[in-house]
Structure 1
Amino acid sequence: MEITRSALAQMIDHTLLKPDATHGQVSALIAEARELGTYSVCVSPSMLPLTDDLGEVKVATVCGFPSGNHTPEAKAFEAAQASKNGADEVDMVINVGLLKEGRADLTEAEIRAVREATTGVLKVIIESAALTDDEIVAACKAAEAAGADFVKTSTGFSPAGGASVHAVELMNETVGGRLGIKASGGIRDYATANAMIEAGATRLGLSSSSAVLDGADGVEVEAEGDY
């Protein structure tokens, strides 16, 4: 079943993580998020604390972004500082290389370090396009064991690609109903967003939020309660 515009908006982290983003562009992002009714804005930690009027919009940021090749201590410090600077949610990137080496124990340990440093919601970016199915399952299990709130498909910066319906389905089969599932990376239209939601996504990371929401115009209001 298709999702309505208002319900979809409340699943969106309206995102600007380009390395050349300016404070002016972040202010424009916040204004657009308020107009669209998105759940949050997601910006780089250097942009915090945000001084614009957020209204009901939450603040999300990233940690260990985009490579994940930071020490657990550095990620934990970054997450703690972001929380202090007003982040309601932190999206951390795992060290993908460690996971591919079969060291899911170390993946769990670094997630736990960030969990302990984060006062709000913790989402774990597993870079699913770079992983095998077994590795996706292992990453999700490590995130759950370490106390994360969400698993997230992608940074959007990996050459391996972004979100896929298959990855979201597998993440949902592994931790759905216990952890939230965020699909992010390459979702630029309503059809793709709706497919991710049908696969199990409970949050979407979008930079093309307005275009995606425009695709929801005309969807029957009665469908809203199903999400």
Structure 2
Amino acid sequence: MELLELIRGLASRLTEEGLAKAIDHTMLRPGATPEDLERACREAAERGFAACYVSPWFVRRASELLKGSGVKVGSVVSFPHGNSPIDVKVREASLLIEMGAD
């Protein structure tokens, strides 16, 4: 099967809901406000996205806002460059999970 035919076949079966469940919404701007967070979480919940990724300092609030919506809360570790030692990354990830990240 030609690649283009395969893509067309998949696209013809894709629903809006199915596509939404494959999307991770992000709100990682350094200057983001609590209002930006609330808007991003609302959009993710209304559209049925798989997850909403937020900066670490917003994880706890995002977890509260998205509770029961089916949208997972994600965040970033050693962002944006990934230059932290592995033990620091592990601790960051552990803290994010404690704060409500999925």
Correspondence for 1:70: 84
Residue 18 (structure 2) pairs with residue 4 (structure 1) = no
TM-score by length of 1: 0.37
> C-alpha separation between the residues in 2 aligned to 1:67 and 1:53?
28
Instruction: Give the drift of 1:87.
Output: 0.5
Q: Note the alpha carbon deviations across 1:177-222, whole angstroms, 9 max, x for none.
A: xxxxxxxxxxxxxxxxxxxxxxxxxxxxxxxxxxxxxxxxxxxxxx
Long gaps (5+) in structure 1:
89-227
Map residues 21-60 of structure 1 onto 2, 5 A cutoff: 21-50=32-61, 51-54=64-67, 55-60=69-74
Which residue number corresponds to residue 3 of structure 2?
A: none
TM-score, scaled to structure 2: 0.80
Paired residue secondary structure (1:18) = coil
Q: Which amino acid aligns with 2:57?
A: S
Structure-to-structure mapping, 1:122-201, within 5 angstroms: none
Find runs of 4+ consecutive structure 1 residues off by over 6 angstroms: none
Determine if contact 2:59/2:73 at 8 Å carries over to the other structure: no
Task: Report percent identity of matched pairs.
Answer: 36
The alpha-carbon deviation at position 63 of structure 1 amounts to: 0.5
Residue aligning to 2:24 = 13
If asked which structure has higher relative contact order (CA below 8 Å, sep 6+), I would say 2
User: How large is the RMSD of aligned CA atoms in angstroms?
Assistant: 1.1
What is the Cα deviation at residue 4 of structure 1?
A: 1.8
Structure 1 position 61 matched with structure 2 position 61: no
Name the residue aligned to 1:151. Answer: none
5+ long unaligned stretches in structure 2? 1-9
